[in-house]
């Protein structure tokens, strides 16, 4: 099978100081997505990391850091009924916040990466190398003005996801916006039409206390 996708960028590294804390955003190239621990890698499947070793962080802290380094965070402005942002996850080591960032949305208050109705993993534009495994489920396309990979059947390795939704698969959209990559994992409670509407509604997020 011919590999289709963009070349990997070695690493995105941006440093600054927010409120006296050194904050680093970085994402190793070719890393396995946290929200898709069984996503296809190459010609097979590679199980990714276990539980994400991160914590919930304030959205404004992330926005402030990105703004100081000339980066803009995009998030959906259109959402299915009842869904709201419940958590922003990041790994912090020695006071440093690192990519990937994971933003989760739920209509039940769920803050868990594995089980929230919608999870968006945000990383450096290296993204992951997608392959069209099945023309009936996978395609490269555009969503709004952005390049995208869309799949209606991506395997999910989280056991908690299976127990909640009684399926091992999810509808996924991967967008490249500027220098950041946005990987959406939609649970089965959202339709394909809702998934595409949400993905296409991405807009820059402003600081709440700017």
pLDDT, position 138: 86
Residue 34, pLDDT > 70, answer yes
Note whether residue 139 is domain-resident.
yes
CB-based contacts of 184: which residues, under 8 Å, 6+ apart?
A: 118, 119, 120, 172, 173, 174, 175, 195, 198, 199
Query: Which of the pair, 45 or 177, is modelled with greater confidence?
Result: 177
Confidence band, pLDDT 50/70/90 cuts, at residue 156: confident
Note whether residue 3 is domain-resident.
no
pLDDT digits (tens, 9 = 90+) for 4-25: 232 222 222 222 222 222 333 3
Q: How large is the C-alpha radius of gyration of the chain? A: 16
Note whether residue 83 is domain-resident.
yes
Note whether residue 6 is domain-resident.
no
pTM of the model: 0.78
Query: Where do the DSSP E strands lie in the chain?
Result: 11-18, 21-28, 40-41, 44-45, 55-56, 74-76, 84-93, 96-106, 118-124, 138-143, 146-155, 169-177, 180-186, 202-204
Number of domains in the chain: 1
Question: Cis bond leading into 197, ω under 30°?
Answer: no
Query: Which of the pair, 175 or 42, is modelled with greater confidence?
Result: 175
Angle, alpha carbons 68-71-72 (nearest 5°): 110
Note whether residue 165 is domain-resident.
yes
Residue 140, pLDDT > 70, answer yes
pLDDT, mean of residues 77-106: 87
What's the rounded Cα separation, in Å, for the pair 136 and 56?
Answer: 37
Note whether residue 4 is domain-resident.
no
pLDDT, position 118: 97
Please give the residue range of the domain that contains residue 44: 11-204
């Amino acid at each position: 099978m011919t590999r289709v996708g963009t070349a990997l960028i070695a690493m995105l590294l941006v440093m600054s100081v927010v409120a006296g804390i050194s904050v680093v955003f970085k994402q190793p190239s070719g890393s396995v997505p946290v929200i898709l621990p069984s996503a296809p890698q190459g010609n097979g499947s590679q199980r990714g990391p276990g539980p994400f070793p991160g914590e919930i962080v304030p959205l404004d802290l992330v926005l402030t850091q990105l703004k100081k380094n000339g980066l803009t965070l995009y998030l959906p402005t259109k959402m299915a009924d009842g869904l709201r942002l419940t958590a922003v996850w990041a790994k912090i080591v020695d006071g440093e916040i690192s990519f990937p960032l994971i933003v989760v949305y739920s209509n039940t208050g769920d803050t868990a990466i594995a089980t929230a109705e919608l999870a968006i993993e945000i990383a450096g534009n290296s993204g992951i190398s997608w392959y069209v495994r099945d023309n009936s489920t996978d395609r490269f396309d555009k969503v709004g003005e952005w390049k995208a990979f869309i799949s209606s059947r991506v395997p999910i390795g989280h056991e908690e996801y299976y127990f909640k939704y009684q399926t091992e698969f999810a509808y996924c959209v991967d967008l490249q916006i500027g220098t950041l990559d946005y990987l959406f994992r939609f649970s089965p409670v959202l339709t394909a039409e809702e998934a595409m509407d949400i993905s296409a509604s991405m807009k820059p997020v402003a600081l709440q206390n700017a």
